[in-house]
Structure 1
Amino acid sequence: MTNSSRECNFTDIDRLAKTLQLGISIPTFIFGLVLNALALSVFCCFWKKQTKTSVYMINLALADVLLLLSLPLKLYYSIREAPGPLCSFTESLYFVNTYGSIFIIVCITVDRYICIRHPFEGRANQSPKWAILVCCFIWAVAWLCSSPMYVFHKKDYFKCFNNMSEQAWSIPIIVSVEIFGFLIPLAVMVFCSAQNIWILLNHKSQAKKNIEGSSSLRVIIINLVVFLVCFTPFHLAICLQCLVRQHVIVDCSLKQTISLFIQVAMVLANLNCCLDAIFYYFAAKEFREKTHLKKAIELCPVFKPRAT
């Protein structure tokens, strides 16, 4: 490392990042918690018959709620030192629910692809049992993969999401996170979404299917855009920070930029908790009928759904 890199100061960067985090995370926490609590109540109490889709949406809303509940701890203990076990649990809770959300979103996309590609088989096989097993597997693997969080820190007291050991930023771990946590889910999302869009566009000749197809297209596009906007910067930032920790990037100004970028990218990833509510609105008829979001969203011509 050069002298300039050793003397690189991140005080101003961290101060700016904390200001941005508070400005975005507080509204995200409030609106996200309200919307996801509302979604859980609708899906659990008003959904007439539980299906695979409802199981996935309940688990997605639950993951969003748990992630949102970790945000106050994340913000507080990222500026103040916390006991090691508490900090490791906070980090684990945050990342478990982030990647739990990613894989549940992928499951919803695959399920929708099956229903569109094979409508008769897909609609006939709506038993929630398989979805329950898949969600249990996702939660179990996510918690298991988060266990290294408890050994990545070597101090008894430290600031959460900071001062992770070099082991945490080792190339095998980061490559595994990038491939299995993002690139494979992204490939599945893009493939299924592209196939769904192609199928729906080629079945717009009939009037009824034109209306239903437009609604489905909106759901598919929103789901894919939310995934890309929320999770692509986050994983790009992880990759860049790994290069910093591996001393591939040593320029001070570039390291400061990456430090700011990774903190802002985590805030963008948290926005997924609020943006999922838009997905619930268009994807679930029960959510539209049982909430007052319908009147509010219909005022915006961009999101105004056509009659179904």
Structure 2
Amino acid sequence: IKKEISSMSGNQSNTSEDHCPTINTSQSHCIPEDNSLIFTLVPPYILVISVLGIIFNVFVLMVFCLHKKACTVTEIYLSHLALADLALVFCLPFWSDYARISYDWPFSESLCKVSSAVISMNPFCNIYFLVMVSIDRYVALVHPLSHERICSPFYAKLGCLFVWVFGLVFALPIFIYRKLTFNPQSNLTHCSLNFTSPDQYLMYEVRVIIFSFIIPVIIILFCTVKIIQTLRKRRMEVLNIQKTDQKATTLILAVLLAFLIWWVPFHVTKILDVLRYTRILKCHITLIIAQQVSVYFAFFNSVLNPILYVIVGKSFRNRTKEFFNVWLSAATVLLLIVTE
């Protein structure tokens, strides 16, 4: 017998002994009744992700925003990517506490809505920031003569603003349908999505899959293939590639690969769950476990990105050294003034 609970995605369903959950008005994640392992492992894992994510992404934003040099177009996109990750990891501790007390929401309904909306905005905003940076690298390498004209810092900032606005619009159903629901059988209060009809759930999930995964991944793959082809062609023709372009492109490809590795399983399980809902696929406990694991698996991407900037991004390392030198000098001067 399985037990109904509300997971990080906060969805619900009914369960039965022999079948997967029959979805009423929302998607669900159901796990075996013996879920002590989840309540034991998930909260500390989420807390570690939160602490590391806050430290790393604040550091990245400080290097990008407080440095004396203005950010390049690529760095503008990466700084907004860090901001989206920072917003995510700030919300995760609430869900860590939620998991710790057996999915009994202890906070207000407003916090339930806001934290859920921020978490749902993260993959949407992240992937579109990566779409924009992929297009920037594509234009820089494949159409270099047009790059300075159409890929300026002003347009990059404007593009980031559009992504944030569309991300907020994308999260509107979370604000509307995410509510606190009391389960009298378990005596628990869940922070869950409560659609008024099954069709609303299906439309919501299909929209998420199309606009947060399929369309942006197609654009990213197209740009990436063209970028790799151009780099190979120039090497074969012994043509000069500006070092700055090559380094920036290497970093972006690493960040893109990391995003796909950590987020593709999450979106694949969403697609499989929609197919299960429409009865195209039969349900299996493996899918239910995969849904749980893929959510927590994807969150690590918010910690990994700053690490990639340091390991792969030589320009970022140079900025970091200059940043520390400037602030160390300022701190030294201030200390001398105070001591005198």
TM range (shorter): 0.7 to 0.9
Instruction: State the alpha-carbon separation in 1 of the partners of residues 210 and 118 from structure 2.
Output: 21
Match of 1:297 in 2: none
> Are 1:131 and 2:156 counterparts?
yes
The match for 2:331 is none
Q: Name the residue aligned to 2:134.
A: 109
Counterparts in 2 of 1:20 and 1:211: CA distance versus 1, 3 Å: farther
Residues 1:213 and 1:50: Cα distance change in structure 2 (over 3 Å):
closer
Q: Secondary structure at the match of 1:5?
A: coil
Find the residue that maps to 1:91 and give its secondary structure.
Answer: helix
2:104 — aligned with what? 80
* TM-score, scaled relative to structure 2: 0.73
Supply the distance in 1 between the matched residues of 2:150 and 2:21 (Cα, whole angstroms). Answer: 61
**Alpha carbons 2:140, 2:245 under 8 Å: kept:** no
Q: 1-side partners of 2:248 and 2:20: how far apart?
A: 53
SS of the residue corresponding to residue 159 of structure 1 reads strand
Alignment of 1:98 with 2:123, yes or no, is yes
Match of 1:134, SS state, is helix
Amino acid at match of 1:233: P
Structure 1 residue 145, shift from structure 2 partner: 1.7
Moved more, 258-267 or 215-224: 215-224
Confirm or deny that 1:64 pairs with 2:85: yes
The CA deviation string for residues 222-274 of structure 1, in whole angstroms up to 9 with x for no partner, is 133212112211111122233444565565xx1x3222211211112211212
Flag the 1:85–1:180 CA change in 2: closer, same or farther, 3 A. Answer: same
Equivalence for 2:209 = 178
- Counterpart of 1:196? 227
Match of 1:233 among 252, 265, 271: 265
Name the SS for the 1:4 alignment partner.
Answer: coil
User: Distance in 1 between the 2:278 and 2:202 partners?
Assistant: 8
Tell whether 2:306 aligns with 1:277: yes
Q: Which runs of 5+ in 2 are unaligned?
A: 1-14, 23-29, 183-188, 322-340
* Separation in 2, partners of 1:136, 1:214: 27
Distance 2:280 2:37 in 1: 25
Tell me which residue corresponds to 1:305: none
Contact 2:174 2:193 in 1 (8 A): no
Q: How many residues align?
A: 288
Q: Is the 8 A contact 1:197 1:217 kept in 2?
A: no
**1:119 alignment partner in structure 2:** 144
Give the match for residue 257 of structure 1: 286
Q: Sort the Cα spacing of 1:276 and 1:197 in 2 relative to 1 into closer, same or farther, 3 A.
A: same
In structure 2, distance between residues paired with 1:55 and 1:192? 19
Once the two structures are superposed, what CA deviation does each residue of 1:160-206 show, in whole Å capped at 9, x if it has no partner? 3x464465862222111111110111011111111101100111154
User: Unmatched 5+ residue regions in structure 1?
Assistant: 293-308
Greater relative contact order (Cα < 8 A, sep 6+): 1
Contact 2:250-2:312 within 8 A present in 1 as well: no
Quote the offset at 1:36 in angstroms. 0.9
Is contact 1:102-1:185 (8 Å) kept? yes
CA RMSD of aligned residues (A): 3.1
Separation in 2 of the partners of 1:66 and 1:269?
15
- 1:2-44 CA distance string (max 9 Å, x none): 7522799734464434444335433322222221111100100
Q: 1:217, CA displacement in angstroms?
A: 5.8
Aligned partners of 2:166 and 2:34: how far apart in 1?
A: 35
Partner Cα separation in structure 1 for residue 246 and residue 153 of structure 2? 27
- Larger helix fraction of residues: 1
Residue among 26, 29, 42 paired with 2:50: 29
Contact 1:109 1:189 in 2 (8 A): yes
Larger Rg computed on CA atoms: 2
SS in 1 for 2:95: helix
Question: Which amino acid in structure 1 is aligned with residue 303 of structure 2?
Answer: C
Summarize the Cα distance change of 1:51–1:290 in structure 2 as closer, same or farther, 3 Å threshold: closer
* Partner Cα distance (2:315, 2:253) in 1: 20
